[in-house]
Amino acid sequence: MTVSTRVIEANLATAEDIAQLLRSRPEPAARIPGATWSVGEAAAHLALANQLMAAVAGGQQHPYGDGTPGGLAAANEASLADYPERDPVALADAIVAHTRTFAANVEQRGAAEPVLTPMGPMDLGTLASYLLTHQLGHGYDLARALRRPHMIDRERAELSLPFLLTAMPRVVDPRTAAGRSARYTVGLRGGPRFGVTLADGTVTVSRSPAAGADCVIVAEPVTFLLLALGRCNPAGAIARSRILAWGRKPWLAPAFPTYFKAP
């Protein structure tokens, strides 16, 4: 079975959306709200990451950090220091070109083929979801910095799920999750639902709702992805009814996003 055409097309479209932002020639030194990177640094990181993902999709191995949020952050800073390009138009071209290479490489292989990524081992289909999630997160940041509409929609949020479910156990925050135990059913409004079991700082994810869940959390799809990427405040989303919770212990819902730390 080959990688889904939908996720490949979503990656290509997202790369083009990001490129369109950058081809407006923003000031590379402009800061991204709430982030340490500038527009130029975020765009350079995307170019480097898409190049790395394309190489991995082509069967190459490129060790990058240790798979932890801290290790990935250190690897990102080191790679940016070695890559001085900050011209938005040049970076737009690179982002699109590397995404096209990724798509071409993916088409040569099966979706179930294993690959080693910066977030650990996964199959090629999940890698395509990983690339999309990564592009959407930084694309959202660039859109905010430039005060332009972002490119996240329901379909792209749903296509990010395979990676998010794979990554969730790897990004647990031990400071907040230690000593906590609960069973959640989590899902997208009008879309798929999955189970998350938290047991003293360890998370297990199932592709189906949790049996006997303590709490059910259902979020509007774009809000779900922004929460997963650490780009959205849970309290504000709940106040605007973009997140609904029920079950035996609905009060467990606000703490759920705090148990994870996005890379």
Burial track 56-95 (b if 16+ CB lie within 10 A, e otherwise): bbeeeeeebbebebeebeebbeebbeebeebbbeebbebb
What is the rounded radius of gyration, in angstroms, for the C-alpha atoms of the chain? Answer: 18
Q: What is the pLDDT of residues 205-257, one digit of tens each?
A: 999 999 999 999 999 999 999 999 999 888 888 888 999 999 999 999 999 99
Is residue 124's pLDDT more than 90? Answer: yes
* Element (DSSP H or E) covering residue 208: none
Higher pLDDT pick, 238 / 80: 80
Q: What residue spans in the chain does CATH classification 1.20.120.450 cover?
A: 5-163
Is residue 54's pLDDT more than 90? Answer: yes
Q: What residue spans in the chain does CATH classification 3.30.1050.10 cover?
A: 172-259
- Domain 172-259 CATH class label: alpha beta
Within 103-257, strands assigned E span 114-117, 120-123, 181-188, 193-199, 202-206, 215-219, 243-246
Q: Looking at residue 262, what DSSP letter applies? A: -
Rounded CA separation 73/1 (Å): 34
Q: Looking at residue 63, what is its pLDDT?
A: 80
Is residue 67's pLDDT more than 80? Answer: no
Rounded CA separation 206/218 (Å): 16
Q: How many contiguous H segments (helices) and E segments (strands) does the chain have?
A: 10, 7
- 246, 184 contact by CB (below 8 A): no
Distances in Å between the alpha carbon of 97 and those of 12, 19, 55, 101, 261?
A: 10, 10, 12, 6, 30
Q: Looking at residue 106, what is its pLDDT?
A: 95
One of 1.20.120.450, 3.40.50.1240, 1.10.760.10, 1.20.120.330 is the CATH number of 5-163, namely: 1.20.120.450
Residue 86's pLDDT band, with cuts at 50, 70 and 90, is: very high
Q: What is the pLDDT of residues 133-167, one digit of tens each?
A: 999 999 999 999 999 999 999 999 999 999 999 99
Q: What is the pLDDT of residues 170-202, one digit of tens each?
A: 999 999 999 999 999 999 999 999 999 999 889
* Element (DSSP H or E) covering residue 87: none
* Percent of the chain residues past pLDDT 90, beyond the cut: 85
Q: Looking at residue 41, what is its pLDDT?
A: 97
